[in-house]
Structure 1
């Protein structure tokens, strides 16, 4: 996802460049496994401070279900908008000291914009905190570890022994259980 923006930086402020994104194999992060191609659309606009880049990507991630620990594929549609600032003047080649670049990405000395990091950060933000293979995933049995999506297990419910004293309140004087 690297674009040469030298001509765009030489153009007047307000000029834009539109391009499609097609990456067959991409590794965004060591913990993110992208399945298949990453496709999308990007628009780069020349602004006073550099470039304003926005667009979207579609990708499929292989994630692990939080409840049953099975791996599953999760399609994502991720939108992004980031600022990029030049590090070298496009006409003179002199290094540029940019102001207010705390929340912006650099354009390298060859006037190349790499969208990979901007997309990676937005993908990480868009992944749900609880990843589920299906909305009604039953998860695993806490005692035996059986996948409850395949059916119930034969475990007895775990009883907290601290509450055994309360059972005596349900017994009458004859030793019979109250209803």
Structure 2
């Protein structure tokens, strides 16, 4: 996911370049297991402050269900948009002072834009807080740990001793 943008930086502001990409064996993060290739599309536009890149990626992640703790595959479509600033002037080769370096990614000395980090960040943000293998996942029994998706367990529900007085009142009314 590395693109040479030297010619785009030499072009007039507003010029654009579009490209489809496909990466086979890529690891975005230690905690993210990508299954299969990452495919996507990127549009790069020359702006006053550098290059604006937007597009999308399609990938499949192996996630762990929050309820039953089983691994499952989650296909994702993740849009992204990031700004890149040049570190070296494309014509003179002299270093360039960055205006908003904290809000953008650098274009390296060879005028290459690497989309790996912006895509990694957007994928992490796109992962739901609660990951479920399926919508109706029953989870695990809190007492014995049995997977309730496979059927009910033999555990009796725990009763809170504080409610024993209420239970006695209900039995007296019956």
- Normalising by structure 1, we get a TM-score of 0.95
Q: Secondary structure at the match of 2:8?
A: helix
Q: How far apart are the structure 2 equivalents of 1:118 and 1:106?
A: 11
Q: What residue number does 1:21 align with?
A: 21
Q: How far apart are the structure 2 equivalents of 1:129 and 1:105?
A: 26
Q: What residue number does 1:43 align with?
A: 43
Q: How far apart are the structure 1 equivalents of 2:70 and 2:154?
A: 21
C-alpha RMSD of matched pairs (Å) = 0.9
Q: Secondary structure at the match of 2:7?
A: helix
Instruction: Figure out how many residues of one structure are paired with residues of the other and give that number.
Output: 174
The yes-or-no answer on 1:101 pairing with 2:101 is yes
Q: What residue number does 1:117 align with?
A: 117
- Structure 1 segments of 4 or more deviating over 4 A? none
Q: What residue number does 1:178 align with?
A: 173
The yes-or-no answer on 1:74 pairing with 2:69 is no
Shift of 1:101: 2.6
Shift of 1:168: 2.9
Max Rg structure:
1
Q: What residue number does 2:88 align with?
A: 88
Shift of 1:164: 1.1
The yes-or-no answer on 1:65 pairing with 2:65 is yes
The yes-or-no answer on 1:5 pairing with 2:5 is yes
Shift of 1:169: 2.1
Q: How far apart are the structure 1 equivalents of 2:12 and 2:90?
A: 13
Structure 1 unaligned spans of 5+: 172-176
Q: What residue number does 1:174 align with?
A: none
Shift of 1:98: 1.5
Q: How far apart are the structure 1 equivalents of 2:10 and 2:32?
A: 37
Shift of 1:163: 1.3
Q: How far apart are the structure 1 equivalents of 2:105 and 2:27?
A: 19
Shift of 1:170: 2.7
- Normalising by structure 2, we get a TM-score of 0.97
Instruction: Spell out, residue by residue over 1:147-176, the C-alpha distance to the aligned partner (whole angstroms, 9 max, x if none).
Output: 0000000000010112112223234xxxxx
